[in-house]
Structure 1
Amino acid sequence: MGLKALAGAVGFLTRLPAGRDADAWDAFAATPAAFLPVGYLLGGVAALALAIPAPDPARAFCYVAAVYALTGINHVDGLADLGDAAVVHGDTERRREVMKDTTVGVGAVLAVALVVAGLALAALALAGITLLAAVGIVVAAEVGAKFGMAALACLGAPAHEGLGSQFTADNGARSLVPSALLALPALALTWPSLAATGAVAGALLAAGAVGRWSDRALGGAGGDAFGATNELGRLAGLYGGLIAWELFPEVIAWTPS
């Protein structure tokens, strides 16, 4: 993975002033694994909000604010477009028309409201557990969301010419292997608890759901599907981590007698 690809990933996934030139974008589009390091970066920085010496609701709010201060609203816009497409009555072409419409519909409002509210409630729950576990879940969920985007780039089919096709054009199933290797450390962030593993798994389930729905309803994955995968993957990852934390707080280490 080259520095150009990593810079392009930072430029696409964050508001940081890096990777905004054409060369960086091309390198990133051809390197799905570049999603993953940015997931570690974003998750680590956003998780710092949970260490603020303040009441749990204040820390939860600061986490949500940090997420969108770091990432901006481009991916939320993709979520909103898919929300509008999901509630429209009609065929694939009609759904695509709705997604291109600049008018914000009720589907978009509901989708964004549910995700932001869900993020805030998850953050409130994270503020109530041990800090190391909370940080591990946040980072693992962010990495899982980015792994989901990489999987969409490697396994998805483009709905039309555009951002989605730029990711999927030169990538295939083999291109996903480096991403999977980079995701492995995230699985152990809360060891011996399986919370981090649950976070990554939850994010991947969300990515699979978005990819399958996009194929059926839109004829493939466009740029909006990538944005929705990011937002829904983060949310599902946080809840997957919290559920695993409750169910499997520790793994029993069996040793030979």
Structure 2
Amino acid sequence: MKGLILALQFLTRLPLPRVEADGTAFAAAMRWFPAAGLMIGGLVAGAAWAGAWIDAWIGALLALVAWVCVTGALHLDGLADLADATSAAHKNRERLLAVLADPHVGAMGATAVALQLIAKLVLLHGLVESKAFAALLLIPFAARIGPLLWSRWLPPLHDGLGAQFRAVIRPADLALWGVMLLAVAFWMPALLAMAPLAGLWGWWILTRIGGISGDSHGAGIELLESGLLLTVIVWARAS
């Protein structure tokens, strides 16, 4: 339970009891990221359901606001940092790392966040219109399996949070959440798109940047969520 509380403290802005932990225990809380995703998904789905009583667009907007507020825009920040850094990567690797470490948001970062929010709003509208509230519960869960995969697969970009995550993720953790994903995918097969989408992001990070960082994890979660929203809509329309 301590690990779950630490994961929620890191990934959300929910009011939680204070828990003391050292660096190793904090990093190990990553094993609980998918469970934290279920709680995030519950709040997003609840907001969408409430707003849908008025209008599908209202439901989509409330869901998006809930998504941003409960996560504190944490992953959007990573997306912005990575967009700024990769736009500077044509100069040299040192420039990329310097921009990635810069807390300020540039033009490319702001553009990436704006496009991501627009995309999520449109995709959320499609799900709300189809009354696919269960998908909104499960998508944040599935997307947060991605960081566990990237931590085991990709080398850390630098000696930071990404390196700590790599040391604590065990094959048993991947197996546990993989089995849970297969279980829910029996009912919602579109969620299996998480695997190729996460693999594509990991390949891009490896070839473009050379290693995973906290910002890359955050950006990857954002893009996985959008990809899964789209996949669920396409699957529903094709079924």
1:20 deviates by: 6.1
Could you tell me which of 205, 223, 227 is aligned with 1:236? 227
Please tell me whether the aligned partners of residues 145 and 204 of structure 1 are also in contact (alpha carbons under 8 angstroms).
Answer: no
1:182 deviates by: 3.0
Distance in 1 (CA, whole Å) between partners of 2:122 and 2:23 is 35
Please tell me whether the aligned partners of residues 75 and 228 of structure 1 are also in contact (alpha carbons under 8 angstroms).
Answer: yes
Please name the residue that 1:176 is paired with.
174
Please name the residue that 2:81 is paired with.
81
Could you tell me which of 174, 199, 207 is aligned with 1:208? 199
Secondary structure of 1:23 counterpart: coil
Kindly indicate whether residue 37 of structure 2 is the aligned counterpart of residue 39 of structure 1: yes
Please name the residue that 2:165 is paired with.
167
**Distance change (3 Å), C-alpha of 1:25 and 1:59:** farther
Task: Give the aligned residue type for 2:211.
Answer: G
Provide structure 2 residue ranges, at least 5 long, that are not aligned to the other structure.
none
Distance in 2 (CA, whole Å) between partners of 1:72 and 1:44 is 16
Distance in 1 (CA, whole Å) between partners of 2:82 and 2:101 is 10
Task: Give the aligned residue type for 1:43.
Answer: G
Kindly indicate whether residue 70 of structure 2 is the aligned counterpart of residue 70 of structure 1: yes
**Distance change (3 Å), C-alpha of 1:20 and 1:94:** farther
Distance in 2 (CA, whole Å) between partners of 1:46 and 1:76 is 16
Distance in 2 (CA, whole Å) between partners of 1:170 and 1:33 is 8
TM-score if structure 1 supplies the norm length?
Answer: 0.84
Runs of 4+ residues deviating >4 angstroms = 19-22
Please tell me whether the aligned partners of residues 40 and 143 of structure 1 are also in contact (alpha carbons under 8 angstroms).
Answer: yes
Could you tell me which of 154, 157, 164 is aligned with 1:156? 154
Please tell me whether the aligned partners of residues 157 and 220 of structure 1 are also in contact (alpha carbons under 8 angstroms).
Answer: yes
1:72 deviates by: 0.7
Kindly indicate whether residue 106 of structure 2 is the aligned counterpart of residue 114 of structure 1: no
Distance in 2 (CA, whole Å) between partners of 1:51 and 1:220 is 39
Distance in 2 (CA, whole Å) between partners of 1:20 and 1:80 is 30
Please tell me whether the aligned partners of residues 7 and 29 of structure 2 are also in contact (alpha carbons under 8 angstroms).
Answer: no
TM-score if structure 2 supplies the norm length?
Answer: 0.90
1:31 deviates by: 5.2
Distance in 2 (CA, whole Å) between partners of 1:22 and 1:150 is 23
**Distance change (3 Å), C-alpha of 1:21 and 1:211:** farther
Task: Give the aligned residue type for 2:238.
Answer: L
**Distance change (3 Å), C-alpha of 1:19 and 1:80:** farther
Distance in 2 (CA, whole Å) between partners of 1:19 and 1:234 is 28
Please tell me whether the aligned partners of residues 79 and 112 of structure 2 are also in contact (alpha carbons under 8 angstroms).
Answer: yes
Q: How many residues are matched?
A: 236
Please tell me whether the aligned partners of residues 139 and 225 of structure 2 are also in contact (alpha carbons under 8 angstroms).
Answer: yes
* RMSD, aligned CA: 2.0
Identity of aligned residues (%): 31
Map 1:90-129; keep pairs closer than 5 Å. Answer: 90-129=91-130
Distance in 2 (CA, whole Å) between partners of 1:116 and 1:202 is 21
Distance in 2 (CA, whole Å) between partners of 1:153 and 1:26 is 15
1:34 deviates by: 0.9
Please tell me whether the aligned partners of residues 96 and 218 of structure 1 are also in contact (alpha carbons under 8 angstroms).
Answer: no
